Chain A
């Protein structure tokens, strides 16, 4: 029985989410060091990046609180946050709330909150790499 059908769908969803979040974070990090225009990001693009990240945080908060599943794309993050012994779930919730508040302003994203986003994106990156390796295991 093939796993290709669902795997292609899963990979594509994971790739899309990862690409959107990574580019949004890149844009805000570039803005924070005054290099956004070098990468072609104007104010409108940066506002869209903030909105995309805020939407992601909202979905993540909802999934952590209510167990709602957004087509499974956030499940790896929720699972990792719940099993993380070094940082209790309550601390993550606080970080997410701070991130959400910071994304509602036009101020540059502080490094510590950018770091939280980096951690979340890393989880998605690892999950995608694991899933992708199932296509080409050797």
Chain B
């Protein structure tokens, strides 16, 4: 019998007991996240059964069965570490700001008809991110954001991008549809190639295959989240994404195989495509978007970009994303309001949805930046 296996099982048992005690303490402390605590307790009960199974397998001392223990132990460790790092750690340290953000997110999920969301565990302690799926539990994401999140405008549309991950995780049909679009696109390119010497044809086939593999589920999900944010938040999302893309003079057309995010040029293009024509034709948006295009032109779109992120492919993907949203989640409201006038933006008052407030915020930022700080102080009190 491997000493390591025995030691590992012993440590997992101790970690499990600690997690149970901590959840008990959280519950006893009057926690607001009762449903989450119950779900985590159920996960721990499953883990306890798995540990008991490991003990039985140890007693058999049959090598083939012991090898299965290694896989069980790895999985248990992963699950318990996520429970500790993301969930119990958050439950132990809820601040007033976390609780305020939780209410804003719950109202948003209700407004956007994300009906599977039961709760959010919020931690305003790091840049925007979401832990969207744990133990098949998509209904209570852990939402991360910076402490200053509600003091900003440019970062706020990122909330919708993060919620997009929950939408994508929850609805497998969307991923399947997008994978089919990618395959059809590259199959079509493969068929359209005329006669070539064998060597060139092989090289071309390899290139197409790499492009096909590039658009894996992860990259499709990132692009979907950008489009989702445009779908539910409108023009303000494009402006937020351009801000993200222009920070630090990064090459927005560079394809990095090590990065699960598509290049910013492709992301902004898709997010812009997701707007309807009236939104795209708004003078302020045209002005800002032309600034983005001018920025993008400083960089070369190399051959790889032109194949991997062909405008035709990006357009087809965006059309399918918008179509999937309206087909798979017909109740999710599309944000079609134009950007407000400066006068209306300066005069925002309660009650106002966060999407409207963000739209007003970008108008003030770009048309009256000197008044933004004062506007922001007032607007902050309207966020609900």
Nearest CB in chain A to that of B161: its residue: A5
Complex contact A5–B221 (CB within 8 A): yes
B26, CB-defined interface residue at 8 Å: no
Complex contact A18–B165 (CB within 8 A): no
Interface residues of A in 22-40 (CB under 8 A from B): 22-23, 25-26, 29-30, 33, 35, 38-39
Q: In the complex where A15-B79, A69-B179, A128-B78 touch, is A8 in contact with B217 (Cβ < 8 A)?
A: no
Which of B126-134, B289-297, B360-368 forms part of the interface with chain A?
B126-134
Q: Which of A5, A33, A111 contacts B130 (CB 8 A)?
A: A5
Give the chain B neighbours of A38 by CB distance below 8 A: 56, 60
Complex contact A12–B134 (CB within 8 A): yes
**Complex alpha-carbon distance, A4 and B85, angstroms:** 13
Complex contact B53–A39 (CB within 8 A): yes
How many B residues are at the interface, by size bracket?
Answer: 35 or more
Q: Which of B57, B64, B67, B165 contacts A9 (CB 8 A)?
A: B165
Give the chain B neighbours of A18 by CB distance below 8 A: 71, 75
Query: From residue B77, how far is it (CB to closest CB) to chain A in Å?
Result: 9
**Complex alpha-carbon distance, A72 and B221, angstroms:** 12
B319, CB-defined interface residue at 8 Å: no
- CB-defined interface of B222-239 with A at 8 Å, one 1/0 digit per residue? 100100000000000000
Complex contact B133–A25 (CB within 8 A): no
Give the chain A neighbours of B130 by CB distance below 8 A: 2, 4-5, 8
Q: Which of B62, B78, B172 contacts A132 (CB 8 A)?
A: B78
Give the chain B neighbours of A98 by CB distance below 8 A: none
Nearest CB in chain A to that of B86: its residue: A8
Q: In the complex where A4-B131, A29-B65, A29-B68 touch, is A67 in contact with B183 (Cβ < 8 A)?
A: yes
Complex contact B128–A2 (CB within 8 A): yes
Given contacts A11-B82, A35-B65, A67-B212, 5 further A-B contacts (CB under 8 A): A6-B260, A8-B132, A29-B65, A35-B62, A38-B56
User: Which 6 pairs of residues, A with B, have the shortest CB-CB distance?
Assistant: A5-B165, A2-B129, A72-B217, A4-B129, A26-B68, A12-B133
Chain A positions within 8 Å of B, measured between CB atoms, are 1-12, 15-16, 18-19, 22-23, 25-26, 29-30, 33, 35, 38-39, 67, 69, 71-72, 75, 111, 114, 118, 121, 125, 128-129, 132, 135-136
